[in-house]
Amino acid sequence: MTLTIGAFLFLFILYFLGQGTETSASTSNSNQAPIRKPSSSKAKLIGDRPPVRRFNLNNVTITADPIENQEAVLILTPMARFYQEYWDNLMKLDYPHKLISLGFILPKNKEGNAATAALQAQVTKTQTGSLKDRFRSVVIERQDFDPPIISQDESERHKMANQKARRASMSRARNSLLFTTLGVDTSWVLWLDADIVETPSSLIQDLASHNKPLIVPNCYQRYIDPETGKPAERPYDFNSWQDSPTAQEIASKMDPNDIILEGYREMATYRSLMAYMADQEDEKHLEVPLDGVGGTALLVKADVHRDGAMFPPFSFYHLIETEGFAKMARRLGWAATGLPNYKVRIHAKISHALRGALLLTQPCL
């Protein structure tokens, strides 16, 4: 009996070792690990994914001819209110929609809820409609922080006392949106405010054709002149400027946490404002160097953001948000450019009585 049991165990061991050798040989001839994959479909999908994804950013082109080179564009919009005219204008952009990704961030409040619902309705309509109109991707985010308690009424929003808290909140929203949506193959980032309702359909390729790290057009507003009853227009965005000795002297006497605000009688900087440089409609592509930029319509090479340039929600050389961004980009070696005769336009219903008593007598080029 003992010999029989011993012989059986010996044969079993030989059989087991033979199976193990066969399995090892089979494993060595394939690139699979010698561990069987779980049979569930979910585990199988995870196991099939490559463990490492490699991207060569040197293959991402950023050129003056983005359509020819099929360059991906990311349009980012912080949104508090939804304007149908904004979406209609977005749809009219003739840059191939298959190369455009959209990103939105909205506050978690009553107005933000209403804007989100309206935005989602338009996104659903577009992304299920004609293929040529569909965008490459759309991301809608909600802020994970409470906005400052400031009324959305224009006169309140633009009071000088509210600007630091308001623009710090805007910076946080812009940064959150940027850091969660910038793709590895993104070539250009277009910052477009939610109240921009009129741009040339060729906006993206027009701005990109200058091949500048940061480039901004001039933001205007159409209105009815109360004196003549006729349509007219006026400059709106005063954050695109060339610095002045007066502003630098003001900054030198400030507390490190204080910021310079443009366009207020109480803080006359005497900077040269691009808002007042428009004078030659037939020279849309005339360039001027800038030290500060607005964010109503701002095209940025993605490499500028990848280098670390963001929107400071704090005093950065006494500047904040988009103006601070231009300063940070400059410190990283990227210069800003403005197009004073290339116009985009803001919603006509937005009040022009912004920033308290607007200083309209500053010198300009």
Say how far apart CA 5 and CA 12 lie, in whole Å: 11
Spatial CB neighbours of 165, under 8 Å, sequence gap ≥ 6: 148, 150
Residue 355 is predicted with a pLDDT of 39
In a domain, 139, yes or no: yes
In a domain, 214, yes or no: yes
In a domain, 206, yes or no: yes
Say how far apart CA 249 and CA 350 lie, in whole Å: 33
In a domain, 321, yes or no: yes
Q: Is 354 left (phi over 0), alpha (psi -120 to 50) or beta?
A: beta
Question: φ and ψ at 191, to 5 degrees?
Answer: -85, 120
Task: State the distance between the two ends of the chain, measured CA to CA, in whole angstroms.
Answer: 111
- Tens digit of pLDDT for each residue in 162-200? 889 999 999 999 999 999 999 999 999 999 999 999 999
Q: Which of 81, 61, 83, 82 minimizes the C-alpha distance to 72?
A: 61
Least confident of 11-20, 138-147, 303-312: 11-20
Question: φ and ψ at 77, to 5 degrees?
Answer: -135, 110
In a domain, 118, yes or no: yes
- Where residue 180 sits, what CATH number does that domain have? 3.90.550.10
Spatial CB neighbours of 263, under 8 Å, sequence gap ≥ 6: 238, 273, 354, 355, 358, 359
The percent of residues above 70 in pLDDT, for the chain, comes to 82
- Tens digit of pLDDT for each residue in 102-146? 999 999 999 999 999 999 999 999 999 999 999 999 999 999 888
Residue 84 is predicted with a pLDDT of 97
Say how far apart CA 203 and CA 190 lie, in whole Å: 10
Q: Is the pLDDT confidence value at 207 over 70?
A: yes
> Which of the two residues, 176 and 25, has the higher pLDDT score?
176
**Domain of 250?**
64-346
Q: Which residues of 192-217 are buried (b: 16+ CB within 10 A; e: fewer)?
A: bbbbbbbbbeebbbbbbeeebbbbbb
DSSP state letter for 59: G
In a domain, 78, yes or no: yes
Question: φ and ψ at 78, to 5 degrees?
Answer: -75, 130
In a domain, 356, yes or no: no
Domain count, the chain: 1
- Tens digit of pLDDT for each residue in 88-111? 999 999 999 999 999 999 999 999
In a domain, 42, yes or no: no
Residue 45 is predicted with a pLDDT of 56
